[in-house]
Structure 1
Amino acid sequence: MPESDLDLLIDAARQAGEIALYHKAKGLEVQHKADDAGPVTQADFAVDKALREALTAARPDYGWLSEETRDTPDRLGRERVFIVDPIDGTRSFVNGETTWAHSLAVVNQGRVTQGVVYLPEMDLLYSASRAQGAFCNGERLSVSDISDIHAARILATKPNMDPQHWRQDVPGFTRSHRPSLAYRLCLVAQGRYDAMLTFRPSWEWDIAAGALILSEAGATVTDRKGDFLRFNNAIPQTAGVIGAGAELHGQIAERLVYTD
């Protein structure tokens, strides 16, 4: 049994990758969730089951929160909780793309302490422990030092560029997109992009691991109001996410319009 929570998450993420790739090779059975919540496959459920069994067996006193497991209030009384997205970016997974990920985190009293984001088809394993830095395949990560919002490369969906979200003109940054929120956070941690943002309510399982990885790479990570993120909430969502180096984050935050 792995001694540390981080080692436990890394081992589980790699096993999840094997399961997902097995089902993908066999042929996916695609269902669609209610309320246009997106597709789900037998691979999502198989990965969820395997992760839940392995992680809770190793840490039976930890709670559990996952996109593909029915939520119960039991986790709210636990000091530590696993927060997991079995496959983040299921649409990409179904479409034969490579930018889908497994996202696994441990939260202690609302703060993420360990996080792993693994992209099996790209062999990218991002990881972090609080106060110990962030890494990709063993290489330490650091956010970019871009401080001019108009020169920044931003990961965001097109609706975030609607003028209603911005106090003045929409900033002149270059926008790109990746379907997986976990991967977006990690790409900014890696310095390949300068910031990521999403204004929609964000599910905790999509962002818990990536938020720690990005923070440990030197970024400021908050919700769209500028509040620092807390996890294992009764309703497991945050008010969006903004992640960037401190100066760029400040420039983004001061230009945003926020209404409840």
Structure 2
Amino acid sequence: MQGTDLDLLIATAKASGEIARGFVDVAPKVWEKGGGAGPVTEADLAVNELMASDLQTARPDYGWLSEETEDDMARLERQRQFIVDPIDGTRAFIDGSRDWAHALAVLEDGLVTCAVVYLPMRDLMYTASHGGGAFLNGEPIKVSQKTDLDGATVLSNKASFADEIWAAGAPPIGVTRKFRSSLAYRLSLAAQGRFDAMMIIRPSWEWDIAAGALIVAEAGGDVTDQTGAPLRFNNPHPQVNGVVAGSPITSKLRDAFATSTVEARLPNT
């Protein structure tokens, strides 16, 4: 397949959407992965097969990291990698929600160079390339410019705003319970300015985060782990230390957050 890496990701996302939509009304088979890793459906596996074939055939020198493929540590020896989540938000997919996504990214030396988050049931195509801006269905998007935590809207889960895990109690955020199963979609909504920020305060898998992180950054947003450190990907253990992303309020969210109590008190996000 010819064209840029971003062209390749867009074409593969569209083809993945066609496959996934074919399972929407037929009650796909579902299995539990074990170890608390959650469910996987035959749709996830079918999309993963398509992505692996199309992307690796087009760029055979790139490494590969996918939620639905056994990790091959040879990826660490490659300069560039694909990192994908065939269906981000599998539980939403199983439940008949429209809020699941295909998340695809290309990495170079641990940094994301281009990314796509595609919601086929909503026909939403978020795209970004390093230095090239972020777009929704071809139109530029920008993060919110909110600077005050008071009344800010943050995408997370209810447990993330329990008073006991914040140094001085939960901040005065107006909407604290807005939730989307797909982390890639949460990041994209923050990039679009629909919400002022999103946050995840548990270690998070790279395939859930990489594509959306670039989209937020290219939309003018701030993206770090929960401590304020920059995100780097293609780690031997492919997780990052949570994510705080979006408008200028992100630094205030990080400052207000008491990290020492997280592991003891929070379920997986």
User: Do Structure 1 and Structure 2 share a fold, with TM-score over 0.5?
Assistant: yes
- The equivalent position to 1:230 in structure 2, one of 226, 232, 239, is 232
Number of corresponding residues: 259
Q: Distance in 2 between matches of 1:76 and 1:163?
A: 40
Structure 1 position 250, deviation (Å): 1.4
2: CA distance between counterparts of 1:35 and 1:179?
19
- Kindly provide the CA deviation profile for residues 120-144 of structure 1, in whole angstroms up to 9, marking residues without a partner as x: 0000000000011000001101001
Q: Aligned residue for 2:217?
A: 215
Residue 37 of structure 2 aligns to which amino acid in structure 1? A
Q: Report SS of the residue matched to 2:150.
A: helix
Q: Specify the alignment match of 2:202 in structure 1.
A: 200
C-alpha separation between the residues in 2 aligned to 1:34 and 1:52? 23
Q: CA deviation at 1:217?
A: 0.4
4+ runs deviating over 6 angstroms:
none
Which residues of 2 match residues 1-260 of structure 1 at below 5 A? Answer: 1-173=1-173, 174-175=175-176, 176-246=178-248, 248-259=249-260
For the aligned residue pairs, the C-alpha RMSD in angstroms reads 1.1
Distance 1:160 1:2 in 2: 44
Structure 2: gaps of 5 or more residues: 264-269
Quote the offset at 1:24 in angstroms: 2.4
Higher helix share: 1
Q: For structure 1, which segment, 131-140 or 249-258, has the greater mean C-alpha deviation from structure 2 after superposition? A: 249-258
Q: 1:35: how far off?
A: 1.8
For 2:226 and 2:163, how far apart are their aligned partners in 1? 15
Partner of 2:105: helix, strand, or coil? strand
- Matched letter for residue 179 of structure 1: S
Q: Which residue of 1 aligns with 2:267?
A: none
Cα separation, 1, equivalents of 2:81 and 2:165: 33
**TM-score, L = length of structure 2:** 0.94
Q: 28-37 or 47-56: which moved more? A: 28-37
How far apart are residue 83 of structure 1 and its match?
0.3
Matched letter for residue 12 of structure 1: T
Task: For 1:163, give the aligned amino acid.
Answer: D
**TM-score between the two structures when normalised by the length of structure 1:** 0.97
Cα distance, 1:27 vs structure 2: 2.9
Paired letter, 2:237: I
1:79, CA displacement in angstroms?
0.3
% identical aligned pairs = 51
Deviation at 1:253, TM superposition (A): 1.3
